[in-house]
Structure 1
């Protein structure tokens, strides 16, 4: 018995073995993949913000935003941020007109507000077109929109490096075809009557045969035909007029900027 009591106790250690020691599951891989994806999206967004212009970003934003923003300016805001060349002609008068097939109000406030809505919607559409391609964006540099006593004016003008017509004539350049196609589609938002006004720069007075009258009228007629080819209903055109060089928009009447066409959405009483 004594010998039995002096025997050392036997201690059994049980070691817990975890299968796959060092492996913590796959949840961290999913989280890491989400993190990498988010970082890629972030850096892509930063690159796009740096590589695009404000006008392009606005075009993309307008594409995803169906809400029409109403302009609060009576004029002087171009489709791509240009300035109205003749601010003294902008303003509102009482009367009625047609926008979107509806008759405008009797007072100047309702009339002017409706014209601003039409202008804002046209600006939105043309800006959205500009976001579709670099060609369209460059073409819309020629376009300025404003509200005047006559109605909503969509002006197309020459740029120093990009004329609208070939060789001092009435044959349209490709850029004018691009503009009128987009403009004809944008004009579909309203059934208002339309006037097309042609203007040209002044020529030297020493010319025996000064072409300003015939040239301005011929260019206005060319734009009317291009708009019709683009889908504008022929019956909407109320008049096509050539104003020669009588209404320059620059201090230099011979500047190329005076070569322009005005497509006017008329008030009903015009």
Structure 2
């Protein structure tokens, strides 16, 4: 017994072995969620391809393209880096810029050479006189106050631009493309203004954009109908038919605000053209 007391005790150490590095039982849920999201995007894409026209699909593709310019007639920049594109030569002869026919870029309109060109000539003085009569800048206006909020005028190198636009509370046309009383009153104002000058007239109509989910874009047809209706309306109010030299429907291609669905984009622009 004394010999056994000198033997060291035996210590048994049990080590707990854990297989793996943690619980991963929910990883399949993340993968499944990704799969469901991808399938939803796929079916949405298939629906869009079936519900839109070729032109609308092109517009959607251009929207998601990172290389498309802000406008097809502009490089998307401003100032010295404006970058006129190759499309600009189609519009440069109209107003001297690569922008729209009536709304040149602010940088171009501030160009000293352009400003001096616009300010010269007896026609510009006549256009300014019409502006003063319409807007009341030289005293009393020939237009009622409730109509003034729908009129914008501007003298450009193309001529005197008189813009009639609608608001959410006051429309120019009803749903059947019939002129409202507001538009009839504005047509009378235009006929009275046409007596002050004898320049030829151009009429341009614009509409708001319509949802891309429509099978056909009605903006072109509506714009054409409105142009013809307004031409007949203003002639009936006293404008000589021979003075109408151009009738243009722009549909929703030249919005005046960044919100394409803004009622402000639905407008009529009448230009008293320069003779030269």
Gaps of 5+ in 1: 1-83, 96-106, 131-135
Q: Which residue of 2 aligns with 1:161?
A: 169
Measure how far apart 1:119 and its partner are. Answer: 3.1
Asked if the contact 1:126–1:183 (Cα under 8 Å) also holds between the matched residues in 2, the reply is no
1:114 pairs, out of 123, 136, 141, with: 123
Q: Secondary structure at the match of 2:120?
A: helix
Q: Is 1:123–2:132 an aligned residue pair? A: yes
Match of 1:60 in 2: none
- What is the distance in 2 between the residues matched to 1:87 and 1:119? 22
Gaps (5+ residues) in structure 2?
Answer: 1-101
TM-score if structure 1 supplies the norm length?
0.56
Q: CA deviation at 1:123?
A: 3.2
Deviation at 1:208, TM superposition (A): 0.9
Change (3 A) 1:226 1:175: same
- Per the alignment, residue 50 of structure 1 pairs with none
Kindly provide the CA deviation profile for residues 61-85 of structure 1, in whole angstroms up to 9, marking residues without a partner as x.
xxxxxxxxxxxxxxxxxxxxxxx97
Aligned counterpart, 1:256: 263
Partner of 1:228: 235
Give me the whole-angstrom Cα distance separating, in 2, the residues matched to 1:119 and 1:252.
31
Q: 1-side partners of 2:109 and 2:178: how far apart? A: 31
Is the CA contact (8 Å cut-off) linking 2:209 and 2:261 kept in structure 1?
yes
Question: Is the alpha carbon distance of 1:125 and 1:200 closer, same or farther for their aligned partners in structure 2, counting shifts above 3 Å?
Answer: closer
Number of equivalent positions: 169
Check whether the contact 1:153–1:264 (CA below 8 A) recurs between aligned residues. Answer: yes
CA-CA distance at 1:121 after TM superposition: 2.7
Structure 1 distance, partners of 2:186, 2:118, is 31
Q: Residue 194 of structure 1 contacts residue 239 of structure 1 at CA under 8 Å; is this kept in 2?
A: yes
Closer/same/farther in 2, CA of residues 206 and 121 from structure 1, 3 Å limit: same
Partner residue in 2 for 1:137: 145
Question: Structure 1's 90 and 216: CA in aligned 2 closer, same or farther, altered over 3 A?
Answer: farther
Could you tell me which residue of structure 1 aligns to residue 250 of structure 2?
243
The CA distance in 1 between the partners of 2:113 and 2:192, in whole Å, is 29
Compute the displacement of 1:175 (Å): 0.8
Aligned residue in 2 for 1:206:
213
Tell me how far 1:126 sits from its aligned partner. Answer: 5.6
Distance 1:159 1:90, change over 3 A: farther
